Chain A
């Protein structure tokens, strides 16, 4: 059943991507705190479907916190708090009665440091999300694992090593494994928190190509402190500074012709 869904999505998604200007995620006066530390201040922004949105800004400006609010990971930190709304397809994921676990199945996340499960094989790492949620039919899993690894551009490299430990791969492969693991649960949005900052340039280039391929089927939001990367891959870019959304525009406009002085200073390297 899942596979049919998966196929039908891949058939119609490309056209959708070209035709719609639909907003996948909308935030309304989003505020976030760690204890008394107010890290996000009244963020209201819209994230378009099937495009790559980059979030840039100096360290500690709240980039990571912002995307962690999109899949309710922020609240897992003790003392963390959120107010405001995050609408996913128009419904608020912070409404009472919304199960954060179900939100996280729709909004997947790739982390800064590759973090495959150390006790699991390559195969089990990719299948983990399904297995741990009770799907265990070997045939289904085989297909999903293969499809996810293909989407993550890793299949050819590991097809003969599926039973090897996930942590025996190289850093870049591990990160693509983590991407495959995220894709295997078929999310609608993929959040990436500085996914290349622990990787060398070759591995980074691979992940960047991957992101561009992914936006056909997924809405991608990437946090990066590498402005070149944002310029290379993203369609829209948001600039965050001290927890505030300073500017949010088409990537080319933001980099070539920023309307805020602060943005210009940041992208020309005057601070940050």
Chain B
């Protein structure tokens, strides 16, 4: 065999191996989506999306309060988690070349791998006991604690990808450091930061364990920030535990709604934050 043929063979082999790995990686993802859609699609109806749950054991009703609850939780969590996370990320990327920065980075890493149930217990002790009630605020606090390290990390990584020459260009124009960071560096890294925020939203909208300890669940619509409430993942979990077939089907339906919700949110935010100049960098 000529060396050219051997190289071609190696090339083919490497390509096939890579392709195989992609297929293997996609199988679980595809089968989850397929399974959820297959089982959940029949539960979807206008009633399901717009009504409160029916009486337990009777069937009927919907998950409107859980949808509302999840949206409120996402909003509230972002309100707490995004500014804190982005600011910490900026600090670490622009001013974090110190022991202090390294320590923060390490703690952030630890926080990112924290079991979410532990976060739930922590917030239970800190917020729920203090306020005397399960509440939306407690839920959002717990989710923000989970969201923050992800946003911090991705913000730092995106900012570090901004070439130093861009910072220097701004500084050489006599632009102050903070202004350079806010107006030039941050806008250059915008896409990466938005991706990080979207990832963290996807992550927190599926979290269940911390919600059990913080918002408890509810049969009613949102009644105030200091009241218990419902959310989709919590709903899925509770429905799955019920010994009724209709409940299981509604559970699949709620899971499908959750997936679609995250998808729609993701696409909307991306469209809104899309760069004005796409892919023209040389």
Give the B-binding residues of A (Cβ under 8 A): 71, 73, 76, 78, 101-106, 108-109, 111, 113, 115-119, 121, 128-129, 132-133, 164-165, 167-168, 171, 178, 181-182, 185
* Contact assessment for B173 and A132 in the assembled complex, using a CB-CB cutoff below 8 Å: yes
**Smallest CB separation, A143 vs chain B (Å):** 18
Q: Is B38 an interface residue (CB 8 A)?
A: no
Most buried by B among A101, A113, A168, A171: A101
Residue from A102, A103, A113 within 8 A of B165 (CB atoms): A113
B residues less than 8 Å from A115 (CB atoms): 163, 165-166, 168-169
Determine how close the nearest CB of chain A comes to the CB of B20; give it in whole angstroms. 37
Asked whether A117 lies within 8 Å of B184 as measured between CB atoms, the reply is: yes
Residue of A whose beta carbon sits closest to that of B169: A115
Contact among B166, B174, B280 for A165, CB-based, below 8 A: B280
Sample of 11 further A-B pairs with CB below 8 A, known A101-B174, A128-B184: A71-B172, A103-B174, A104-B174, A111-B169, A113-B165, A118-B281, A132-B170, A132-B173, A165-B277, A165-B280, A167-B281
In the bound complex, do residue A73 and residue B171 qualify as a contact, i.e. CB atoms below 8 Å apart? yes
Measured CA separation A78–B168 after assembly (Å) = 13
Which B residues from 164 to 199 make CB contacts under 8 A with A?
165-166, 168-176, 179-180, 183-184, 187-188, 190
Answer whether A78 and B165 are a contact pair too, CB < 8 Å, given A118-B281, A128-B170.
Answer: no
Complex CA distance for A101 and B174, rounded to whole angstroms: 5
Q: Which residues of B contact A118 (CB under 8 A)?
A: 166, 188, 277, 281
Measured CA separation A254–B264 after assembly (Å) = 69
The answer, yes or no, to whether B12 is at the interface (CB within 8 Å) is no
Q: Which residues of B contact A76 (CB under 8 A)?
A: 168, 171
* Known contacts A115-B163, A129-B175; A178/B277 CB under 8 A: no
Nearest neighbor of B182 in chain A, beta-carbon distance: A132
Q: Are A119 and B275 in contact (CB under 8 A)?
A: yes
> Known contacts A73-B168, A115-B165: does B277 contact A185 (CB below 8 Å)?
no
Given the contacts A117-B188, A118-B166, A165-B277, A102 and B171 also touching, CB distance less than 8 Å? no
Known: A104-B172, A109-B172, A117-B166. A132 touches B277 (CB 8 A): no
Does B4 reach chain A (CB closer than 8 Å)?
no
State in angstroms the CA–CA spacing of A165 and B275 once bound together.
Answer: 11
* Chain B nearest Cβ from A127, distance in angstroms: 11
11 residue pairs bridging A and B, Cβ less than 8 Å apart: A101-B176, A108-B172, A111-B169, A117-B170, A128-B184, A132-B170, A132-B184, A133-B175, A165-B281, A178-B169, A182-B172
The smallest C-beta distance from B97 to any residue of chain A, in angstroms, reads 6
Q: Once the chains bind, are A73 and B172 in contact (CB under 8 Å)?
A: yes
| Most chain A CB atoms below 10 A, which of B163, B172, B187 | B172
- Would A185 and B188 count as touching, CB distance under 8 A? no
Whether B173 contacts A105 by the Cβ 8 Å rule is yes
| A117 to B190 Cα, complex, angstroms | 13
List the 8 shortest-distance A-B pairs measured between CB atoms, nearest first. A105-B174, A165-B277, A129-B173, A109-B172, A104-B174, A115-B165, A132-B175, A168-B280
